């Protein structure tokens, strides 16, 4: 199981914006993240909608991270693209358990616990730490 390519790109794009910390045009973001401009724009719309990124219109427009990178978690970016994380579809509010009552299904309980563990772990990673870890790794190589 992998996260989608769109989500992987969203993490890259968020990292670029967190590193820059200033208003940046979509083309520059696209180039630095190694994502096509069209896909970058699609992802940026979702990140704006989630309140993680702020957009500016016009010829001097662009995008800027709208939160402190310390407050942006991997879970926030993943869920901005994918929606709420559930280990199994059976946990989604709109899904009915095929095994009878959701309260009686032992699989649903186990899947719920796994989902909680993953969500909590994703919340432990923020973009400030991720960016600085990357910088330290690059400095160590030089």
This prediction has a pTM of: 0.85
Which pLDDT tens digit goes with each residue over 8-19? 999 999 999 999
What does DSSP assign to residue 25?
-
Which pLDDT tens digit goes with each residue over 61-78? 999 999 999 999 999 999
- State the average pLDDT over residues 9-36: 97
CA distances from 61 to 2, 10, 46, 88 (A): 34, 20, 17, 40
- Structural domains of the chain, ranges and CATH numbers in brackets: 5-84+127-141 (1.10.10.10)
Name the burial class of residue 56, with classes exposed (0-12), middle (13-18) and buried (19+) by CB atoms within 10 angstroms of its CB.
exposed
Tell me: pLDDT of 3 over 90. no
Residue 69 tokens read as 């990178």
pLDDT score of 64 = 97
**Strand, helix or coil at 24?**
strand
Instruction: Report which secondary-structure segment, H or E, holds 55.
Output: strand 53-56
Residue 62 tokens read as 């662009």
Share of the chain above pLDDT 90, in %: 68
């Amino acid at each position: 199981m992998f996260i989608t390519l769109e989500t992987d790109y969203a993490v890259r794009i968020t990292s670029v914006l967190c590193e820059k910390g200033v208003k940046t045009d979509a083309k520059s973001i696209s180039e630095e993240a190694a994502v096509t401009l069209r896909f970058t724009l699609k992802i940026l719309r979702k990140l704006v909608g989630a309140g993680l990124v702020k957009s500016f219109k016009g010829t001097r427009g662009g995008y800027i991270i709208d939160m402190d990178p310390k407050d942006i978690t991997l879970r926030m970016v993943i869920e901005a693209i994918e929606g709420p994380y559930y280990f199994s579809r059976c946990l989604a509010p709109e899904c009915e358990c095929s095994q009878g009552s959701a309260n009686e299904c032992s699989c649903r309980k186990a899947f719920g616990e796994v989902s909680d563990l993953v969500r909590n772990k994703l919340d432990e990673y923020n973009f400030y730490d991720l960016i600085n870890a990357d910088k330290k790794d690059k400095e160590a190589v030089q």
